[in-house]
């Protein structure tokens, strides 16, 4: 049993958290297998990447949920990252959807979860597109956006000895456009509306991914519950989320998560794990592990340990 200190209502108190209570989360942009990456090609780094997602950074636990972005679906086996990752994670179940019109090829949002602890709700899961027509596969209604973008999600029920415990949680993975600020702003508005109106209002929520904007951007401020200007309009979000990394590391300065396969990870944090306020962050870290001087992917993975408050 681990001990940690929480700050709540201005007072410090000690709380014991067992492994059965905490939930371990990882977000990782795996970098498409179709990039011209030379020595950093998918074939040269795939085993290392799987090693990273199989255990938490301290090597002591497994992740409950892993959200992958850019996981390629491809008819060529050597380029199909989804098939490779899923095959290497036999203790996990998974869902994914390519962002394109069909699910036969393209970058996908992949979610893996520990099948000994969680069961997906058969009626409350799926993918929607970040567009004016969210049910239309491959849709992209912001003209300056580089690609279609989507969110894959599920409501998960905790199980113990084959029986549901009553604990449940939404988990979602997404990837915002890298080119268009307008597309990112529209994506944030759409996602926050979806969160505020999710089917099960009693279930806490985790949303993670590569948002392609740093923590000072209007998009991130909006998702944290601040009123911001998108274009000429002042907008107040319908709900608010907690940035787990900042909750655990309020004064951290070395926070870059995009390494671009270069020596250092840069200064901007573009990869996030957000939670609703009915959950608490125990810890969070940016994983900057290398093997033989090389990265497993062009983004540093981010992990968080969270608990449900009530």
Do 191 and 174 form a contact (C-beta atoms < 8 A)? yes
Q: Which residue has the tokens 């939670």?
A: 275
> What pLDDT score does 15 carry?
47
Do residues 111 and 67 make contact, with C-beta atoms less than 8 angstroms apart? yes
Per CATH, the architecture of 2-308 is what?
Answer: 4-Layer Sandwich (3.60)
Distance in angstroms (rounded) separating the CA atoms of residues 249 and 255: 10
pLDDT at site 6:
44
State yes or no: pLDDT of 185 exceeds 50.
yes
**At residue 11, does pLDDT exceed 50?**
no
Domain layout of the chain by residue ranges: 2-308
How confident is the model over 119-140, as a mean pLDDT? 98
DSSP string across 74-106: -SSGGG-HHHHHHHT-TTEEEEEEESSSSSSSE
Tokens 């996981």: give the residue: 71
* pTM (global) more than 0.85: yes
Please say if the pLDDT value at position 2 is more than 70: no
pLDDT at 7 over 80: no
pLDDT digits (tens, 9 = 90+) for 62-115: 999 999 999 999 999 999 999 999 999 999 999 999 999 999 999 999 999 999
Report the pLDDT value the prediction gives residue 233, as an integer from 0 to 100. 87
Give residue 1's pLDDT: 44
């Amino acid at each position: 049993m681990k001990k940690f200190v929480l700050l709540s209502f201005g007072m410090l108190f000690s709380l014991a958290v067992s492994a059965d209570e905490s939930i371990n989360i990882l977000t990782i942009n795996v970098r498409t297998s179709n990039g011209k990456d030379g020595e950093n090609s998918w074939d040269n780094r795939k085993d290392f990447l799987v090693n990273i997602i199989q255990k938490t950074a301290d090597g002591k636990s497994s992740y409950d949920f892993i959200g992958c972005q850019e996981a390629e679906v491809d008819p060529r086996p050597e380029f199909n990252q989804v098939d490779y990752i899923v095959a290497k994670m036999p203790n996990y179940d998974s869902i994914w959807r390519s962002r394109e019109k069909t699910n036969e090829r393209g970058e996908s949002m992949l979610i893996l979860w520990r099948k000994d602890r969680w069961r997906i709700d058969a009626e409350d899961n799926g993918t929607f597109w970040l567009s004016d027509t969210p049910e239309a596969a491959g849709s992209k209604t912001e003209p300056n956006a580089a690609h279609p973008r989507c969110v894959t999600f599920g409501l998960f029920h905790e199980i113990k000895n084959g029986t549901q415990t009553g604990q449940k949680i939404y988990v979602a993975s997404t990837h915002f456009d890298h080119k268009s600020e307008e597309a990112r702003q529209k994506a944030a508005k759409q996602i926050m509306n979806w969160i505020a109106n999710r089917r099960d209002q009693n279930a806490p929520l985790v949303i993670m991914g590569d948002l392609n904007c740093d923590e000072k951007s209007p998009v991130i401020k909006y998702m944290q519950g601040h009123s911001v200007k998108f274009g000429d309009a002042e907008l107040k979000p319908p709900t608010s989320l907690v940035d787990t990394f900042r909750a655990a590391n309020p004064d951290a300065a070395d926070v870059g998560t995009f390494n671009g396969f270069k020596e250092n990870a840069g200064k901007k944090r573009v990869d996030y794990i957000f939670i609703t306020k009915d959950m608490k962050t125990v810890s969070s870290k940016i994983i900057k592990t290398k093997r033989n001087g090389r990265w497993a992917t062009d983004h540093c993975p981010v992990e968080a340990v969270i608990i449900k408050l009530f």
